[in-house]
Amino acid sequence: MEIIVQKFGGTSVRDERLRERVLQHIAEARRTYDGVVVVVSAMGRKGEPYATDSLLDLLEGRGKYLPARERDLLLTTGEIISAVVLADLLWRQDIPATVFTGAQAGIVTDARFGEAQILDVRPDRLRAALERGRVAVVAGFQGSTEDGELTTLGRGGSDITAVALAAALGARRLDIFTDVNGVFTADPRIVEEARPLKYLTYAEVANLAHLGARVLHPRAVEIAMQYNIPVRVRSTTSDDEGTLIASLSELRARAPFRERVVTGIAHVFGVTQIKVVRETVDPELQLVVFRAMAEHGISVDFINVSPNSVAYTVRDEEGERVAEILRGLGFEPIVTPGCAKVSVVGAGMAGRPGVMSRIVEALVGHDIPILQAADSHTTIWVLVPGERAQDAIRLLHRHFELERE
Amino acid sequence: MEIIVQKFGGTSVRDERLRERVLQHIAEARRTYDGVVVVVSAMGRKGEPYATDSLLDLLEGRGKYLPARERDLLLTTGEIISAVVLADLLWRQDIPATVFTGAQAGIVTDARFGEAQILDVRPDRLRAALERGRVAVVAGFQGSTEDGELTTLGRGGSDITAVALAAALGARRLDIFTDVNGVFTADPRIVEEARPLKYLTYAEVANLAHLGARVLHPRAVEIAMQYNIPVRVRSTTSDDEGTLIASLSELRARAPFRERVVTGIAHVFGVTQIKVVRETVDPELQLVVFRAMAEHGISVDFINVSPNSVAYTVRDEEGERVAEILRGLGFEPIVTPGCAKVSVVGAGMAGRPGVMSRIVEALVGHDIPILQAADSHTTIWVLVPGERAQDAIRLLHRHFELERE
């Protein structure tokens, strides 16, 4: 049985016109595949009554007085409502559909309410529905523990539901429908010439996803990579094929080998750089600083250390608090708020010399200081002052000629 | 462990002010009982987004295209949302509460979606929460089949949830909170002197409930009677004790024996009387008429038959259709729309002669024709023309001196 999984986000099901498009994508999939599984998020955005945010707003302080277990119970209703509304549309078009809650779809999780991890997927009931010719409409973002507690998988959790089901069912492909036409070479609101990419490797998209190009939940990418499920990110409102995300070998089989070194530029705004510099070597420095961060539950990123200095970034909202903590420990931190982390991503850069040098060329040549840098085999990150971030992204996009197909 | 079950209807949890009162009732119950179980309906009425009616309105034709299984999935969300919102209120007052869906509360039903029957109640998890000092807040109106399909119990189903849990937990009492101050001797909108009753037997309230005085779901009354659970019907907005519903022997132990013959007057408006009269005895008549009704799925009531005639009532909405069906079979039915069924209820009338005679006295003495009559050991029903129904109710109320304590 050839199965496809289609995931529709909250904005894809927010009104009748969009749901009509969703219907067309499902009908199209039924012509090509034996089994169609549809995963949906809660309908709409903040302000619409059945959106996740609106449900949270029913609680004082968005649920801060309530245990996470009860908050999760509330949130699971959003996706169930959305799934039933979509199934209703399908039945009206004579497409038989069966709705499954996360629990009924066999999504078994641990009991970490609010950010549960999937432990197992038991898609027997889902498969039985597919075999009876039904479209299976699954409420995303949720699961159930072995003893029947309802859980949610955290924001973006519907992506995880979709890819976990695709893996468990051995699906041919997962289509993630969203409001953009695939994954872009950079944010088109910043770079006018940015264009959707035809192909991306899992590793590339993982780096993009971690870095603010909100295309796909990072855990979803990891599962897709692990089970080798090709994922298409595409627009609900068009028939374009969007971006195909797969392994490098899979992509090579489909397309001529790409000489491209850099694939895209991602960014995260609102980052504060923290630096602590000692005049002499201080063997305790790193230990004291990072232990303090851990004790205060502050997540740190972009770490650069030397024998007499420590530098790292935190979110802008935490910058002042971090500075106070460090001052309380007798340090004199240098705090630079409002920075941007810009990342140059490309599977082709692995083992290729000269990429960092080209980045420096592009930025420093235009008087944009690089406050920090780091690299992995598919990504180079640079930290730049926030007011120069948009320039930096545009310059890098042009420098690596990403506007060219 | 002394347990009380409290059930709050949709109008009791519709706004902050009312939910504040609900909180007080729960806090009060915690002072008296070791375990408090709270059953809630969906919040509010038609027009408010999380009410059952509003959820149904999300579906085309209120779900007529959708299988009942999927409709039920949607409807279960209303009570879950309501239960979590109430739990949030409790936590804010430092009252620890745990929410249970119907399935989690152990309500096991058959798979008759939309009107499922409870097969079993397994309240182990609920009891465990009570033992940990938690208030158990249960989403009413729903359950789950053995294989995890979510079901609803039909309108008024939260009453059934409440009484089933009370029975399974061996609760001391069930309090049904509503927007009136108990069960009244008659509808106070019709009879100015109508007053709340202090006590009622199960049998009396069963007849009242079946007959339009919408106090308690008839199936709920039957379960309460079977397990001998005392039920109090009381107002959310007051501390009055409302009406206590129990067995006759229980009530006798609590209160001086009541000499009252008649307890209350109930009514159903909007009834059409259908009569078919033959000139001679027709052995086929009853068979043909009632088979036709059954085949067309028409529910009949108030049946009077004789060898050459058949009389019965249907709902006004079906009157014209029924007349056509009968004409199609060659009959000439006499159709009297807009009638009212008025019932005189009282556990004390069993075996007492003269009640029917007093009813006739009251009505015919004021030129109100009795179109039909019937009786059981605790109720006498009369069918009267709709335009005289309010008079009939007032006259009977006065005639039996129901305004007197």
Cβ-based neighbours of A131, under 8 Å, separated by 6 or more: A1, A35
Q: Which residues of chain B have pLDDT under 70?
A: 46, 209-214, 256-259
A375: which 2 tokens?
């690299």
CB contact under 8 A, A59 and B84: yes
B317: which 2 tokens?
């909405």
**Looking only at Cα atoms, what is the longest distance across chain A?**
76
What angle (nearest 5°) sits at the alpha carbon of residue B359, between those of residues B358 and B360? 90
Residue numbers in B near A48 (CB within 8 A): none
Count A/B contacts: CB-CB distance under 8 Å.
96
B198: which 2 tokens?
């202090």
Helix axes A157-169, A218-227, angle to 10 degrees: 10
Among the listed residues B63, B55, B64, B69, the one whose alpha carbon sits nearest the alpha carbon of residue B148: B69
Residue numbers in A near B102 (CB within 8 A): none
Residues A334-344: what's their mean pLDDT?
A: 94
B203 vs A245: which has the higher pLDDT:
A245
B52 is known to lie in a ligand binding site: yes
Cβ pair B79, A128 in contact under 8 A: no
B35–chain A nearest CA distance, Å: 20
The CB-side HSE value for A175 (13 A sphere, CA atoms) comes to: 25
Give the integer Cα–Cα distance in Å for A361 and A357: 6
CB contact under 8 A, A80 and B81: no
CB contact under 8 A, A85 and B50: no
Amino acid at B378: T
Give the integer Cα–Cα distance in Å for B118 and B108: 6
B88–chain A nearest CA distance, Å: 6
Residue numbers in B near A67 (CB within 8 A): 91, 98
Burial A49-64 (b: 16+ CB within 10 A, else e): bbbbebbbebbeeebe
Residues A1-9: what's their mean pLDDT?
A: 95
3-state helix/strand/coil string of chain A:
CCEEEEEECHHHHCCHHHHHHHHHHHHHHHHHCCEEEEEECCCCCCCCCCCHHHHHHCCHHHHCCCCHHHHHHHHHHHHHHHHHHHHHHHHHCCCCEEEECCCCCCEEECCCCCCCCEEEECCHHHHHHHHCCCEEEEECCEEECCCCCEEECCCCHHHHHHHHHHHHHCCCEEEEEECCCCCECCCCCCCCCCCECCEEEHHHHHHHHHCCCCCCCHHHHHHHHHHCCCEEEEECCCCCCCEEEECHHHHHHHCCCCCCCCCEEEEEEEEEEEEEECCCCCCCHHHHHHHHHHHCCCCCEEEEEECCEEEEEEEHHHHHHHHHHHHHCCCCCEEEEEEEEEEEECHHHCCCCCHHHHHHHHHHCCCCCCCEEEECCCEEEEEEEHHHHHHHHHHHHHHCCCCCC
CB contact under 8 A, A74 and B84: yes
For chain A, which domains are there? 3-179 (3.40.1160.10), 264-399 (3.30.2130.10)
CB contact under 8 A, A101 and B50: no
Residue numbers in A near B69 (CB within 8 A): 98-99
> pLDDT at position B379, please?
87
Phi, psi of A26 (to 5 degrees): -70, -45
Phi, psi of A84 (to 5 degrees): -70, -40
CB contact under 8 A, A88 and B60: yes
B189 is known to lie in a ligand binding site: yes
> pLDDT at position A213, please?
60
Give the integer Cα–Cα distance in Å for A85 and B55: 10
CB contact under 8 A, A81 and B91: no
User: Looking at the partner chain, which of A65, A74, A84 has a beta carbon nearest the beta carbon of B70?
Assistant: A84
Q: Give residue-wise pLDDT tens across range A218-236.
A: 889 899 999 999 999 999 9
CB contact under 8 A, A60 and B85: no
Displacement of CA A170 from its chain's centroid (Å): 22
Give the integer Cα–Cα distance in Å for B405 and B395: 18
CB contact under 8 A, A98 and B55: no
Mean pLDDT estimate for chain A: 91
Give the integer Cα–Cα distance in Å for A304 and A274: 10
Q: Which residue has the tokens 């027997």?
A: A124
A400 is known to lie in a ligand binding site: no
Residue numbers in A near B80 (CB within 8 A): 73-74, 76-77
A288–chain B nearest CA distance, Å: 38
Amino acid at B111: A
Strand partners, B374: B381
In angstroms, what CA-CA distances link A275 with A143, A167, A271, A323?
42, 43, 13, 10
Cβ pair B243, B233 in contact under 8 A: yes
Q: Give residue-wise pLDDT tens across range A177-216.
A: 988 888 889 988 899 999 988 988 898 888 776 666 667 8
Residues A82-95: what's their mean pLDDT?
A: 95
CB contact under 8 A, A101 and B73: yes
Q: What percent of chain A has pLDDT over 70?
A: 97
Displacement of CA A169 from its chain's centroid (Å): 22
In angstroms, what CA-CA distances link A341 with A20, A383, A393, A400?
39, 5, 10, 18
Q: Give residue-wise pLDDT tens across range A302-335.
A: 888 888 889 999 999 999 999 999 999 999 999 9
Q: Give residue-wise pLDDT tens across range A118-153.
A: 999 999 999 999 999 999 999 999 999 999 999 999
A interface mutation test: which of B13, B23, B53, B65 has the most A CBs within 10 A? B65
A391 is known to lie in a ligand binding site: no
In angstroms, what CA-CA distances link A213 with A159, A205, A233, A374, A405?
15, 9, 12, 18, 20
- Residue A344, sorted as left (phi over 0), alpha (psi -120 to 50) or beta, turns out to be beta
Give the integer Cα–Cα distance in Å for B193 and B398: 9
Other beta carbons within 10 angstroms of residue B257's beta carbon come to 9
Q: Which residue of A has its CA nearest to B85?
A: A59
Cβ pair B316, B301 in contact under 8 A: no
Burial B370-383 (b: 16+ CB within 10 A, else e): bbbbeeeebbbbbb
List residues of B whose CB lies inside 8 A of any A CB.
49-50, 55, 58-60, 63, 65-67, 69-71, 73-74, 76-77, 80-81, 83-85, 87-89, 91-92, 97-99, 101, 103-104, 148-150
Helix axes B389-399, B355-364, angle to 10 degrees: 130
> pLDDT at position A258, please?
61
B243 is known to lie in a ligand binding site: no
CB contact under 8 A, B67 and A101: no
> pLDDT at position A93, please?
92
Pairing of strands A97-100, A135-139: parallel
Strand ranges of the sheet holding B372-375, from the earlier edge strand across to the other edge:
B301-306, B309-315, B264-277, B334-345, B379-385, B372-375
CB contact under 8 A, B101 and A63: no
Confidence of residue A259 (pLDDT cuts 50, 70, 90): low
A interface mutation test: which of B71, B74, B76, B94 has the most A CBs within 10 A? B74
Strand partners, A6: A38, A175
In angstroms, what CA-CA distances link A256 with A147, A199, A249, A252, A261?
50, 11, 11, 6, 14
CB contact under 8 A, A88 and B63: yes
The CB-side HSE value for B338 (13 A sphere, CA atoms) comes to: 5
> pLDDT at position B181, please?
86
Residue numbers in A near B66 (CB within 8 A): 84, 87-88, 91
Asked if residue A255 has pLDDT above 80, the reply is: no
Pairing of strands B150-152, B142-144: antiparallel
A interface mutation test: which of B13, B20, B23, B58 has the most A CBs within 10 A? B58
Q: Which residue of A has its CA nearest to B88?
A: A66
CB contact under 8 A, A73 and B103: no
Give the integer Cα–Cα distance in Å for B282 and B300: 20
Among the listed residues A388, A302, A340, A343, the one whose alpha carbon sits nearest the alpha carbon of residue A185: A343
A10 is known to lie in a ligand binding site: yes
Pairing of strands B107-109, B118-121: antiparallel
